[in-house]
Every structure is written in structure tokens, then in C-alpha cells.
Amino acid sequence: MKNANGLLTIKNLVKHFDISGGLLDQLSLEQKRIVRRRTTVKALNDVSLWINPRETLGVVGESGCGKSTLARTVLGLYPPNSGEIYYKDKRIDNLNPQRMLPYRKKMQMIFQDPYASLNPRMTVKKTLEEPITFHFRSITSRKIQDKIAEVMQQVGVEPSWATRYPHEFSGGQRQRISIARALMVDPEFIVADEPVSALDVSIQAQILNLLMDAQEKRGLTYMLITHDLSVVEHVSTRVAVMYLGVICELARTKELFKAPRHPYTQALLSAIPQLGRRKAKHIKLKGEVPTPIDLPSGCVFHGRCLYANERCAQEIPQLINRGSGSQVACHGVEEMRL
Amino acid sequence: MSHLLEVKDLEVKFALRLGELTAINGVNFTLDKGERLGIVGESGAGKSVTGFAIINLLSKPGYISAGNVLFEGREINRLPEEEMRKIRGNRISMIFQDPMMTLNPVLTISTQMVETVLAHQNVTKAEATDIALEKLKKVYIPSPGKRLQQYPHECSGGMRQRIVVAIALLTNPALIIADEPTTALDVTIQAEIMDLLQELCESDKMGLILITHDLGVVSQVTERIAVMYAGKIVEIGSTQAVIHDPAHPYTKGLIKALPGSLQPGSRLNQIPGMMPTLTDIPPGCAFHPRCNISGTVCRMEVPALLSKKDYQSMVACHMVK
């Protein structure tokens, strides 16, 4: 699973969070003996993928599946427990902050909530200035002003409003400003974590159009994290479906939506409310998503899967190429019984 | 004959220091027994305020400034609080968006459910517990007896929302008002809750008002849809008509703005601008500055909600014939 042309390649990424707290929290009484237990949330378990330049990789999954952790780990906001991240063949997960700096400039992030991601005490101008003065120390203030005006124009916010504060803007305009902030340093790769989830439908369309335009104009590569499958279907080139910290299926968008292979993908897709199609039959899954603290053995999905057998309960399925770039991690698909 | 619920010229105002704001401006609709109505619109359209106004739960400075709400033929918007309490949470139940906020975190599920039953019915505690158990079974909660003893934090999001639905059902209401009941939930759980609500409405002949911003959800569950914009209903009709043959330019725009209705990768149809804030609602038709077919009359006169020749639904637009 190595792609030489990938802009970003992730190999066997693992990220666990220790949530056991202090020593006293870890101790418990079991059969009259004091035992010490650590609790870890296994957010990412052996995730491998690559992203081609100028494509949009959609990452979908339900809450708690690790999609946001993946986004943050890729950008180096969380150090991974193990695994490797390559940016154009250069390994970046083990760099010190100083050496990571040039890569931070190339990789930017857009967050979900434009009310929380903009500093309420900074004007738009200050917000947009900060990344550029940080990454380009020698730039003249004249050039910064020009850049701010140019980017604001591009994202559709009137440049003369640069002196205003975030509270003076609506949600959609704030999200435009967050996008402007990401674009200020001319990045190549943008991770967008639920960029339109907090917005109304008509505004959502405006922001998605803006993201698609910016991609076309600047040749950007996106990793789009979202739970909204219709957004993913519309915008992405390829889609990765995550469940409990693993990728269960990765395929070109068209193929994934037309013929999902993994039983979880099938259930997920059948649950999308389709406009005008009443009483669409959806696949009901058994039970609930297990906690990532206590992962099921074998395939993490086997407890809820309609087709699971004994092998599924024991052996962890690997992502296997099914031709034309699609990959499925399912014993059933591998054994050709699905 | 008489409807289960009749909302007539409802007007809600908020008395603020800077003056009065009109949040809802003349809303009219009816709901029959066992009927499911969806109210859709973007944030600030007045959908939730409509829901709150029906059960007279508006908090100050909001108040109903004009109009009537008739429930089972009886005017309920002017009832004294004591009388209203006999209806609210009893004959009309409400389900809110965030199940973590609506359940009390320091009380067990059992306490919260029994409390509700005892408040409305003259039964013993043991009987109330039996009712709670029965309702939990009805919303397909596995091992309901065990769940009753648990606290809300021990349940998952989907389970919590099901418990909230069970609480709403405790008193066998004739009407449930669900305000964004699945917005905080994942799609697979959303689908389950929506199926459940629909099933309950059908089996128990319950009326449902589903308030949501999600046209997809509404189109699968309800029989009729009302589209709200800036405090008014701009279009109301059967789900089929509103979704497949929308008449109002705003409804059309909303449907076209949804990804999924177009070729992937193509530009989405966007409605320019945004919903006006309540402080500066444009004169005439509130939608005219964003409308692509507006004319002079739209700037002057407020359009009435009328039946049109070319469409099945009722539309408030001067330009639609």
C-alpha cells in the first residue's frame, strides 16, 4: 500500500489516548486485591491510506469512529503512537517542531464551528495576518495588506470589512473567514473537519462551492472529514469509510455509492434520508457501536454484522485491493461470500 | 370537522429594550388526528418558536401577541398556567434536540419517568413504574428493567433519545412536537428514531409536528410540509407536492442547494445572501432581495398564502401563478 505519487501517505497509523487519570483513579479492588489498570481509548488502529495531489479524499463515519483524530494526527497536532506519515516522500511524523515548520505552512486546517475557531478579540485583519507573519518573517506589511485583500475577495468577504470582529459576521461569513485564514499562506493541502456541519442548507451550498472553486484555482488537495454522506458524494474524488478507528472501505466515490461492498458501508448508505423517496428500506444494525476502550476481537464490526462468522470474531481483516483502486477490509468480501 | 390542532394567525413578539421584534408573523396551519406535519426552514425562520408557542412555553421576553391555538377544539393559548400544565406534557408532548440536555443527569431514568407519570395521572408509584417499563419496551430498549435503574450518562446518544421518546409517550399524548429530534445523532441512529416515530404515530394515531432543517428527513416521515422563512409560512402542501413540485422560489432554491440532487462535482445551486435578521426584515415579501424572479410588487406588498393554479401546494408568492 504505497503510492509513489501520493501527496500524503499514511502507513499503519496508531493513536491511543490514555484516559486513566492519576494513580488513585487507576487503582481498583478486585477479589480482595488492589490492581492497577490503565484505560486507553483506541482511536486509530492501523490506518493506512494515501491522498493523491489535487483530489478530495472524503472521510466518513459516525461520531467516535476516529475521523477527527485522523485529521489532527495527520497535521501533527497529535503525535501518533506508531505508524508513519509521509508528505511527498518525506517522513514528517517524527520531525521536531522546528523542522516541521515548513510543512505546517503547506498543510492547513478548517474547523467545524466558525463561532469557536475564530478568536473573538481579534479583528478579521489580525486573524488573517497572524499565519502569514508567522510563516513569512521578512514579508513587508504592504504585501500582507495586498494578500489579505486578495484572499478576502476570493472567499467572498468584502475587504473593507477587515477591521470588524467575528461577532459582526454571520455563521456563513465566519466560515468564509476561516477558509481565508487557511488560504493566507498558500497551502497545498487542507484538512477540513466538518466545514459545513454547523451551517444552514443555503449557506452550506455557498461554502461548498467556495471550497470547490478554491481547489480548482489553486490546485488544492483536500481531506474532507464529515458525517454528511451527501456532501461527501458531491465533493469527493475518493471516500474512506471509518468504523471504530479502522478504515473498512476506501473507493472512488462513484463506485462506493453505487456498489458499497463492506456491510457497514451498506448499512450506513441505506440510512441516508433520500429526498422524496419515502420509506426507503434501511439496513438495521444489531446493537450499538462498541466503545473504543474495549475493542472487539477480530473485525471490529463483527458483533453488529449480519454476515459475520467465526473467522470474523478472531482475525482482524486487512484492507485488500479489489481492483480499480478500491479497498475493502472484510473477510466476507475476501472469501467471495459477500 | 374539527382538527386536532389549529393554529390561526399566530403572531409571536419579543419585547426587547430596542423595541419589539416579530419572530412569527401570521402563521396558519391545521393538523388532523394521526397526521404528520413537517416544519422546515433555516435557523432563525421561526420554526422552534412556533413549536414553543403551540404549547405556550415561550420564555420572556417572548409572548403570543395575536392569534389562536386551538387544540381538540379548545383555545389553549390563553389558558392559565395551571390548566395549561394539564395539557402540556400530557396531551401534547415535546421532544427536543439534545437528549443530554433534556434528561436530568443526576436522576435515574426511573425517577424521571415515574415523576412524569405521577404528575399527570392518579396512579401509585408501582403502577407508574409499570407504565414506564411498558413505554421503554415500546421504543425497543433492550432489558428495560435494567435501564430504568441507570443514569443518563450510562446510555448512548441514540438510547438517550429513545428514552426521551419513551418519556414523551408516557401519558399517551394526542400530539408530539419534535424539535430537531435527530440533529445531534448519527445517520444510522437517526434512521432508527425516525422509523420509530413514524411507527408510533401510525399505531397510536398520534399527531406529529416535526421541526427540522433537514428536508431529507422530513420528506421521509411526514405527510405534509410547511416551509418557513423569516417568521412566515411561504409554502405548505403535501410532502409529495412540496418536494417534487416546489412552487415558492425559496423552496426551489433550498431543494436545489442540497448536494445529492445534482451531478457530483458540479457547482451547487446557491441562494445568494442570507436570511434577514429579525431586526431588519425587508418590506413586502421578506424573500425578495434573494429572489431571482421578484418584481416591483414584491418590494411593496406582503404576499398571502394562497392556492395557485399551477401548483398543488399553497404558496405565498406574487410571482407564482
Chain A residues with CB under 8 Å of B258 CB are 201, 205, 230, 275
Pick from B188, B253, B254: CB nearest A268: B188
ipTM of the complex: 0.78
Contact A275 B259 (CB under 8 A): no
Using CB atoms within 10 A of its CB, is residue B183 exposed (0-12), middle (13-18) or buried (19+)? Answer: middle
Q: Report residue B10's pLDDT band, with 50, 70 and 90 as the boundaries.
A: very high
Interface size A-B, in CB pairs within 8 Å, comes to 116
Residue-wise pLDDT tens digits, B270-314: 888 878 888 888 889 999 999 988 888 999 999 999 998 888 899
Contact B187 A272 (CB under 8 A): yes
Distance from C-alpha of B75 to C-alpha of B79, rounded to nearest angstrom:
8
Residue-wise pLDDT tens digits, B231-256: 999 999 999 999 999 999 999 998 88
**pLDDT on residue A276:** 63
Pick from B42, B158, B195: CB nearest A200: B42
Chain B residues with CB under 8 Å of A271 CB are 187-188, 190-191
Chain B residues with CB under 8 Å of A258 CB are none
The mean pLDDT value for B84-94 works out to: 91
Residue-wise pLDDT tens digits, B33-75: 999 999 998 888 899 999 999 998 888 889 999 999 999 989 9
Q: For chain B, what percent of residues have pLDDT higher than 70?
A: 99
Rg (CA), chain A: 22
Question: Which residue of chain A is at minimal alpha-carbon distance from B244?
Answer: A276
Phi-psi region of A219 (alpha: psi -120 to 50; beta: other; left: phi over 0): left
Chain B residues with CB under 8 Å of A205 CB are 257-259, 268-271
CB within 8 Å of chain A, chain B residues 210-269: 213-217, 219-220, 239-240, 243-244, 253-255, 257-262, 264-265, 267-269
Contact A271 B190 (CB under 8 A): yes
Distance from C-alpha of A190 to C-alpha of A172, rounded to nearest angstrom:
19
Which stretches of chain A drop beneath a pLDDT of 50?
1-2
**pLDDT on residue A1:** 45
CA proximity to B76, closest of B58, B93, B54, B59: B54
Identify whether the C-beta of residue A236 lies closer than 8 Å to the C-beta of residue A56: yes
Task: Kindly state the cell numbers that stand for A181.
Answer: 485564514
Asked if residue B131 has pLDDT above 80, the reply is: yes
Chain A residues with CB under 8 Å of B255 CB are 275
Identify whether the C-beta of residue B164 lies closer than 8 Å to the C-beta of residue B93: no
Chain A residues with CB under 8 Å of B158 CB are 288
Q: Tell me the CATH number of domain A96-236, given options 3.40.390.30, 2.40.50.140, 3.40.50.300, 3.30.1320.10.
A: 3.40.50.300
Residue-wise pLDDT tens digits, B254-281: 888 888 767 788 888 888 887 888 888 8
Domain boundaries, chain A: 96-236
CA proximity to A57, closest of A259, A250, A327: A250
Question: Which residue of chain B is at minimal alpha-carbon distance from A65?
Answer: B186
Residue-wise pLDDT tens digits, B159-206: 888 899 999 999 999 999 999 998 878 888 888 889 889 998 999 899
Convert chain B into a string of H (helix), E (strand) and C (coil).
CCCCEEEEEEEEEEEECCEEEEEEEEEEEEECCCCEEEEECCCCCCHHHHHHHHCCCCCCCEEEEEEEEEECCEECCCCCHHHHHHHECCCEEEECCCHHHHCCCCCCHHHHHHHHHHHHCCCCHHHHHHHHHHHHHHCCCCCHHHHHCCCHHHCCHHHHHHHHHHHHHCCCCCEEEEECCCCCCCHHHHHHHHHHHHHHHHHHCCEEEEEECCHHHHHHHCCEEEEEECCEEEEEEEHHHHHHCCCCHHHHHHHHHCCCCCCCCCCCCCCCCCCCCHHHCCCCCCCHHHCCCCCHHHHHCCCCCEECCCCCCEECCCCCC
Distance from C-alpha of A90 to C-alpha of A100, rounded to nearest angstrom:
11
Using an 8 Å CB-CB cutoff, list residues of chain A that contact chain B. Answer: 62-63, 170, 172, 200-206, 208-209, 212, 227, 229-231, 233-235, 253-254, 267-268, 270-280, 282, 284-285, 288-289
- How many other CB atoms are found less than 10 A from the CB of residue A77? 12
Chain B residues with CB under 8 Å of A288 CB are 156, 158-159
- How many other CB atoms are found less than 10 A from the CB of residue A128? 23
**pLDDT on residue A251:** 94
**pLDDT on residue B1:** 55
Task: Kindly state the cell numbers that stand for B113.
Answer: 419517568
